[in-house]
Amino acid sequence: MPKYIALLAGINLGKRRIKMDALKKHFESMVFQEVETVLATGNVIFVSKLRSAAKVESLVESGLHTRLGYEVATYVRTPDELACVVSNSPFGLADDKSDGFSVQVQFFKEPLLKKLAAPVSKIETATDRFAVVGRELYWRVTGRLSDSLVWSSAEMKAVSLPRGTTRNMNTVIKLTDSLHTR
């Protein structure tokens, strides 16, 4: 049976707090197997009889909405797809403490259209650079994320990105590594 990774948006932020053992039980009640949560930030690894990641994504979203009473945008990847996110990183693999930058990855359901991917890839500030590869947007940011003003810039607002969920590259690497140890 195929293995999947669900990246849940907005879990454990604000009033949407859920214990990881409860989240695991919700996934098990949706007939997923070998369910494990990773890093308490809405990352769930599991096995499903379904052979379509898109169907799994839809099932998780509808199942969590029913069980939690609110929408949980879900972005599903296979182990191979997640490994490609790491290997395709245009900005390196992890935080570089000496240069003071980190790499963030924003996951989308579909590849960004060229009319969005081209302009966002050209946005560059003294602290921010972007690259689009398939369904992921890579963001290299120097300094603290909260200090970056790029998301409120006119250039970024003009792009109007679709909804996604973001993970630090270190988290993506830990997820990928945990897939190989299970």
Give per-residue pLDDT as tens, 104-158.
999 999 999 999 899 999 999 988 999 999 999 999 998 888 888 898 889 998 8
- Higher-pLDDT residue of 106, 14: 106
Residue 38 has pLDDT above 70, yes or no: yes
Average pLDDT rounded to a whole number, residues 99-108: 88
Q: What single letter denotes the amino acid at residue 104?
A: Q
Sign of the alpha-carbon dihedral angle for 8, 91, 148, 145: positive
Q: Phi and psi dihedrals of 128, rounded to 5?
A: -130, 140
* SS3 label, residue 13: coil
How high is the pLDDT of residue 95?
55
Asked if residues 61 and 73 have their Cβ atoms less than 8 Å apart, the reply is yes
CA contacts within 13 A on the Cβ side of 143:
10
How high is the pLDDT of residue 178?
81
